[in-house]
Amino acid sequence: MRWSQIFIPTLRDDPADAEAISHKLMLRAGLVRQLAAGVYSKLPLGFRASRKVEAIVREEMERIGAQEFHLPVLHPGELWKESGRWFDIGDEMFRLKDRRQGDYCLGMTHEEVFTAIARDELRSYRQLPQIWFQIQTKFRDEARPKSGVLRGREFVMKDSYTFDVDFAGLDVAFDKHAEAYRRIFARCGVRALAVQAASGAMGGSESVEFMSVSDAGEDWTVTCASCDYAANLEKATSVVSSVDDPREEPGDIEKFSTPGIRTIEALAAFDENASAQRQIKTLVYSVDDQVTLFLLRGDHTLNEVKLAEATGVANFRAATAEECREALGALPGSLGAAGIAELPIYADDALKGRRGMVTGANEDDFHLRNVSVERDLDKLQWASLREVVAGDRCVHCGNELAVQRTIELGHIFKLGLRYSEAMKLTVLNDQGREVPVVMGSYGIGIERLLAAVIESYHDDNGIVWPWSVAPFHIVVTPISLKNADAMQKAEGIYHELQKDYEVLFDDRDERPGVKFKDADLVGVPLRIVVGPKGLEKGVVELFERASQQKEDIPLDRVFDEVRACAARLAEVEPR
């Protein structure tokens, strides 16, 4: 492809409204342009790169026996009402009416449509297992579309769905996907951690996310440096350091006056026996309209995804001060669970066995001391509610945990019977009995993966594509269009290399400096510079984008050198 003819609108400066590096570089290198918040047009270079990613995904899906479909994006509301998600999902779903006032939506994901096809067509266990996938546009009206294509409102996803007659079959399908995902991310050059993830209140038993460590990420991942434990912060658990409680069971609960004290810190400063670790923090939520208490150690933070997992309810919010007063008789800052028998109370595991603690008295400006959790608090439901912090200990090996920002590249999910039961997808098993089909669902965001590649592969001058997803492998750059010999040699090299590689020929009438800058910015892995001085000595310059190494290569060695470089560059360690 001749540079003068391909549309690569590079920008010299960073766009003002882009923060993530991949966002800046995708705009600057002319890969994408924004149409609306979270909606991007792919320009030729961006489309070439994303097709590379798609091709890798497709190959690895086919390797595990998946069959490619292409389903509509326009879905009848009826199907989503059948699964119940029409009502569970809020503003994230784009909904519309047709001319007859029928309900429709734009697919955010395709469990419903795939399940409907399976329900209409699958009859017998003999037709199972099935692995179905597609690479298709999704629409999600994200609350905060961010960081360019990393979180779009329209984006492409590889989504797949598995259908098995039993849970053992699901385990096999799940493991196959985990393996395919490892291969996909490695081939794209990205090191992806497989981490335990929260399944959410929507059901399903097990889910694993694939995470790339990056400051541009919106997830937090907890990892152990010593063993292979890795979990999303929404799911992660830890061992907390023990606290010096009184050795003996303390005397009876005592109420004491704490005038104007409303926070954990203020109480710790007020009473030397009430350090944050020795307090019980009482948080009040309205969970499906039921006032519910959540207890944590004073210095710990509640994670709301864990709240949803613990209660199995997605519809919750913090209670208002008025609701607290109505239910407990005091305002936040003086609340506690002692003496509360009629409200559900969830307690974080870190409170197990704690004694002689301080908590609110449910009377403004009063607290209680000598509170022993198991002795004094009724009907506690134990759960993991607190957020792990760096420095906590691993539950498996006791070593220190780290917390890192990550990008979620993919998610694999054991759905179980969630959709087959709701939508009546059954088959006859080998006993002739009708059983619900066991399902899994699995996603990878194509553009998000591409952006994650750029997050891992760039330098001050621009993108540094890994060979596997580079929109072009090589750029051949004649120094000057005026030198007929150099132009002819350059053109010859270009034509020859095109037989095996994707090659750009920079035939623009620009200064060499401009051409080099652009080639660096768009990240072409290899550059061959053809100029009169070199040709006098019978050489061209081979420049490697990643290492910035230049080497003079005799004309008759160009193809061998390129082949050697290509082989080496194709083998990079994922990062």
Q: State in angstroms the smallest separation of the CB of 452 from ligand ATP.
A: 9
Q: How far is CA 48 from CA 2, 6, 51, 385, 452, in A?
A: 15, 12, 5, 45, 16
Q: Which of 82, 111, 348, 408 binds ligand ATP (CB under 6 A)?
A: 408
Among all chains, which residue has been given the structure tokens 């004649």? Answer: 478
Q: Which of 329, 306, 22, 311 is nearest to 146 (CA)?
A: 22
Q: State in angstroms the smallest separation of the CB of 212 from ligand ATP.
A: 10
- 436-455 binders of ligand ATP (CB under 6 A): 443-445, 447-448
Instruction: Assess 304 for contact with ligand ATP (CB under 6 A).
Output: no
Give the pair of three-digit tokens for residue 203. 């059901």
Residue 368 or 439: the one with the smaller Cβ distance to ligand ATP is 439
Radius of gyration of the chain (CA): 30
Residue 351 or 415: the one with the smaller Cβ distance to ligand ATP is 415
Residue 137 or 263: the one with the smaller Cβ distance to ligand ATP is 137
Over the window 143 to 182, marking each residue x when it contacts ligand ATP by CB under 6 A and - when it does not, the resulting string is --------xx--x-x-------------------------
Q: State in angstroms the smallest separation of the CB of 35 from ligand ATP.
A: 15
Q: State in angstroms the smallest separation of the CB of 233 from ligand ATP.
A: 12
Long-range CB contacts (< 8 A, 24+ apart) of 429-435?
Answer: 429/125, 429/165, 429/166, 430/125, 430/165, 435/165, 435/166
Q: Which of 110, 140, 354, 489 binds ligand ATP (CB under 6 A)?
A: 140
- Could you give the count of Cα atoms lying within 13 Å of 73 in the half-sphere of its Cβ? 14
311 backbone dihedrals φ, ψ, rounded to 5°: -90, -20
Among all chains, which residue has been given the structure tokens 């830890």? Answer: 238
Q: State in angstroms the smallest separation of the CB of 435 from ligand ATP.
A: 27
Residue type, 10: T
Instruction: Assess 515 for contact with ligand ATP (CB under 6 A).
Output: no
Residue 173 or 530: the one with the smaller Cβ distance to ligand ATP is 173
Q: State in angstroms the smallest separation of the CB of 286 from ligand ATP.
A: 24
CA–CA gap between residue 242 and residue 371 (Å, rounded): 17
Q: State in angstroms the smallest separation of the CB of 528 from ligand ATP.
A: 36
Q: State in angstroms the smallest separation of the CB of 155 from ligand ATP.
A: 4
* 222 contacts 401 by C-beta, under 8 angstroms: yes
Q: State in angstroms the smallest separation of the CB of 197 from ligand ATP.
A: 8
Residue length of the chain: 575
Q: Cite the beta strand spans of 219-360 per DSSP E.
A: 219-224, 230-232, 254-257, 280-287, 290-297, 316-318, 345-348, 357-360
Residue 45 or 450: the one with the smaller Cβ distance to ligand ATP is 450
Over the window 205 to 224, marking each residue x when it contacts ligand ATP by CB under 6 A and - when it does not, the resulting string is --------------------
Q: State in angstroms the smallest separation of the CB of 156 from ligand ATP.
A: 8
Residue type, 252: D
Residue 234 or 376: the one with the smaller Cβ distance to ligand ATP is 234
Residue 337 or 452: the one with the smaller Cβ distance to ligand ATP is 452
Number of residues near ligand ATP (by CB under 6 A): 16
CA–CA gap between residue 449 and residue 31 (Å, rounded): 14
Residue 355 or 418: the one with the smaller Cβ distance to ligand ATP is 418
Residue 155 or 467: the one with the smaller Cβ distance to ligand ATP is 155
Over the window 82 to 121, marking each residue x when it contacts ligand ATP by CB under 6 A and - when it does not, the resulting string is ---------------------------x------------
CA–CA gap between residue 468 and residue 118 (Å, rounded): 35
Q: Hey, what's the torsion of the CAs at 143, 144, 148, 154, to 10 degrees?
A: 0
Stretch that binds ligand ATP, among 113-121, 257-265, 365-373, 404-412 (CB under 6 A): 404-412
Q: State in angstroms the smallest separation of the CB of 559 from ligand ATP.
A: 39
Q: State in angstroms the smallest separation of the CB of 108 from ligand ATP.
A: 8
Q: Hey, what's the torsion of the CAs at 174, 175, 181, 184, to 10 degrees?
A: -130
* 480 contacts 490 by C-beta, under 8 angstroms: no
Residue 406 or 477: the one with the smaller Cβ distance to ligand ATP is 406
CB atoms within 10 A of CB 88: 13
Q: State in angstroms the smallest separation of the CB of 52 from ligand ATP.
A: 17
Q: Cite the beta strand spans of 238-326 per DSSP E.
A: 254-257, 280-287, 290-297, 316-318
Q: Which of 410, 436, 471, 531 binds ligand ATP (CB under 6 A)?
A: 410
Instruction: Assess 409 for contact with ligand ATP (CB under 6 A).
Output: yes
CA–CA gap between residue 63 and residue 179 (Å, rounded): 10
- 469-498 binders of ligand ATP (CB under 6 A): none
CA–CA gap between residue 556 and residue 534 (Å, rounded): 13
Pairing of the two strands 474-478 and 503-505: parallel
Residue 28 or 140: the one with the smaller Cβ distance to ligand ATP is 140
- 5-64 binders of ligand ATP (CB under 6 A): none
Instruction: Assess 142 for contact with ligand ATP (CB under 6 A).
Output: yes
**Chain residues in the site for ligand ATP (CB under 6 A):** 109, 140, 142, 151-152, 155, 157, 408-411, 443-445, 447-448
